[in-house]
Amino acid sequence: MSRLNPSPHPALPPGPVNLALQGGGSHGAFTWGVLDTLLEDGRLTFEGISGTSAGAMNAVAMAHGLARAAGQPEAAQREAARASLKDLWDGVVAMGALQTSLSQAQRVPFDLLFGGLAALGGHQSPGQMVSDALTGFWASSFSPYQTNPLDINPLHDFLERLIDFERLAAYPGVKVFVLATKVSTGKAEIFSGHRLTAKAVMASACLPTVFRAVEIEGEQYWDGGYSGNPAIHPLVYDCQSRDVVLVQINPLRRNTLPTTAADILDRLNEITFNSALIAEMRAIDFVKRLLAEGKLDPRHYKDVLMHRIDGGHALDSYPAASKAQTDGALIYRLRDLGRQSAAHWLSQHLPQIGVASSINIARDYLDDMRVPVGPLLTPAHSVLGHP
């Protein structure tokens, strides 16, 4: 477990935290800004990082920087992690700027992941592309197996150049968990340790209407957002820290009714990618209440302390279509918003680390979907208990 060098702040939290990083295309630059500020501040240390899609990219970039600086002064470890995250997002911006010089086959996978849909010969928004897929036009006319028959993915090659996955697998300081969805079963698959590769990260970001399924060890995988965005359970089962800091970039609530086909499908996509998170929050809330009422043995069940950093209304003002844009102005504006949000969170909630949750799970995630706790209920041992 890595304990980075404490900063000279007078009050230090009692232990490390775990990070849960959502995916959301270019909006992952917001998470970059959050992580950059947490590393710069230096008061938090990190035990585990779980990420999906763009969250997975942020997770491996941050951990790779820490691993690369292992053995150096601990302040240098934080700076190496910050530099690794900057390299990731500067590379995304550079690839976006250079995509017009790529061949058609090279442009398609990058364009569809991060923008520039002109490679398809049109000017569809990402929402319109998804709308076409679900209404049948896309499915009947194109598929990733037709638009990219050679399965070329420049982002995969970029990640392999940027991240030393062998060094990351051997690094004992921070545990990294990347989630993908197994196509055959629809179940979540966690990649960690030596199974964590560039292909695993690409599987975590594999939207099936955009990319061919990623094959790993004879199994096919799609985007991890369908089964967990992000997955919290590995941070509960495989880490000692009770504190989980969720960096949320997909809004739970939008106050305007979507009325166009593109906006409707964009909102459906957000709801789908938040559903697994809500299910895990329901389980965490259930176990916390059973523990509080003395119905579970605290020696076998963890009282998870949940925290959240998000951009609030400022992040909600970015439409879903902006998740597929990579111009530098947008990426760095989102980074700055992430930095501001993390600084605000540190000023308001850092004292709650190790003490209490800083979010109201029932109010924010469950409403009337809260699992009742009654005398006839016996908790399932698989619900966030220690295996």
Q: What is the pLDDT along the chain (387 residues), one digit of tens a residue?
A: 333 444 444 455 457 999 999 998 889 999 999 999 999 999 999 999 999 999 999 999 999 999 999 999 999 999 999 999 999 999 988 877 665 445 444 444 444 445 433 333 333 444 444 444 444 444 445 666 656 666 667 788 889 999 999 999 999 999 999 999 999 999 999 999 999 999 999 999 988 877 889 999 999 999 998 899 999 999 999 999 999 999 999 888 878 888 888 778 778 878 888 888 999 999 999 999 999 999 999 989 999 999 999 987 788 777 766 776 778 889 999 999 999 999 999 999 999 999 999 999 988 888 766 666 665 344 444 445 544
* Per-residue pLDDT reduced to its tens digit, 58-75: 999 999 999 999 999 999
Question: Distance between CA atoms of 116 and 130, rounded to whole angstroms?
Answer: 15
* Per-residue pLDDT reduced to its tens digit, 217-244: 999 999 998 899 999 999 999 999 999 9
Please tell me the predicted confidence (pLDDT) of residue 212.
87
Question: Distance between CA atoms of 244 and 308, rounded to whole angstroms?
Answer: 8
| Residue 254 CB contacts under 8 Å (≥ 6 apart), including other chains | 267, 270, 316
Question: Distance between CA atoms of 338 and 309, rounded to whole angstroms?
Answer: 9
Please tell me the predicted confidence (pLDDT) of residue 382.
43
Angle in degrees, 0-180, between the axes of helices 74-98 and 328-349, rounded to the nearest 10: 150
Helices assigned H by DSSP within the chain = 28-41, 54-68, 74-98, 104-114, 126-135, 137-141, 144-147, 154-162, 165-170, 198-204, 233-237, 261-292, 312-316, 328-349, 361
Please tell me the predicted confidence (pLDDT) of residue 217.
95
Integer angstrom CA distances of residue 89 from 128, 175, 243, 332: 26, 22, 27, 9
**Structure token pair of residue 334:** 């989102």
Please tell me the predicted confidence (pLDDT) of residue 25.
84
Strands 214-216 and 219-223: antiparallel
Strands 46-51 and 17-21: parallel
Neighbours of 215 (CB within 10 A): 13
